[in-house]
Copies of this chain bind each other. A is one copy, B any other.
């Protein structure tokens, strides 16, 4: 079914139908209403390919999906994608998926995609220092939003982003522990240098009145366990641990001695945390995805606004369970 069929059925010209859809204000109220009724009755949908050829806009938003690492900390994509897709649909966009192993291959995919499907915008996840993808897109003036702050102070890094305030999360965790009577609260995090990890450490550190003890290891349950065992062994006063991830926290849980209760708080509120009763910092992934779409939609509606660089920093919440 084409726009011509609708025009015939409604007894108007093709343009009137097109106008009803694209410039409603230019059509008489009565006519518009009638046309919309016919469209509804016939179940007509404008052919996106034809529309795209004319307008150059695909109403497609592309997002990359990475293979998750240990599968524990990495399982946020599900919820994020669901919300992204839902919000996008409400705004009249659809989500196009692609995979990429690293920045370089992701950029190659951009070229592919832009040549073939011409997505209107990209959503970047897993931003990091010296992100090649962001600068590539920036250079070409392509609309995108990053889920994750640009962890760099380059003037380049001025683009819209949405992120969850990791420091606020560990601060909330630390405050909760202080409120429940803990006085010596340790931290298990990642080696310095990763924006996300440093941010989470900062929230813990700034909440304590005097410097606390900490360990830094690569992410993982086993690493978390040995780090916690080491820390608890060296520091007998420590009664609570804040961790940079649920993986680390799960390891810390296993490092506890039977006769020495230690409160543990993780980060990400993964299914695994729920499964074992681990208190954890919960990220509002649905809101984050919705914010990404909002930012993009706004930028795409008004391309004249120049390089948009709105930022959204969302606050995580603390999901309290048995572990703390």
Contact = CB atoms under 8 A, between A and B. Distances in A.
Interface of A: 1, 43-50, 52-53, 58, 65-68, 70-72, 74-75, 77-79, 81-82, 85-86, 89, 94-99, 111-118, 221, 246-247, 250, 270-272, 274-276
Given A50-B53, A71-B79, 4 more contacts: A45-B116, A47-B115, A86-B99, A276-B276
A91 to B, nearest CB: 13
Kindly report how many copies of this chain are found in the complex they form together: 2
A106 to B, nearest CB: 12
9 closest residue pairs by CB, A with B: A45-B115, A272-B275, A95-B97, A272-B272, A71-B271, A49-B52, A49-B49, A72-B271, A48-B116
Given A270-B271, A271-B70, A275-B250, A99 B115 contact: no
Contacts of A74: 78
14 contacts: A45-B115, A45-B116, A47-B118, A48-B117, A49-B117, A49-B118, A65-B81, A68-B78, A71-B271, A71-B274, A74-B78, A75-B78, A86-B99, A97-B97
A86 B53 CA distance: 27
A43 B108 CA distance: 10
A258 to B, nearest CB: 11
Contacts of A99: 82, 85-86, 89
A32 to B, nearest CB: 20
Contacts of A43: 111, 115
Contacts of A68: 78-79
Given A50-B53, A78-B75, A97-B94, A111 B272 contact: no
A53 B48 CA distance: 10
Contacts of A272: 270-272, 274-276
A247 B79 CA distance: 18
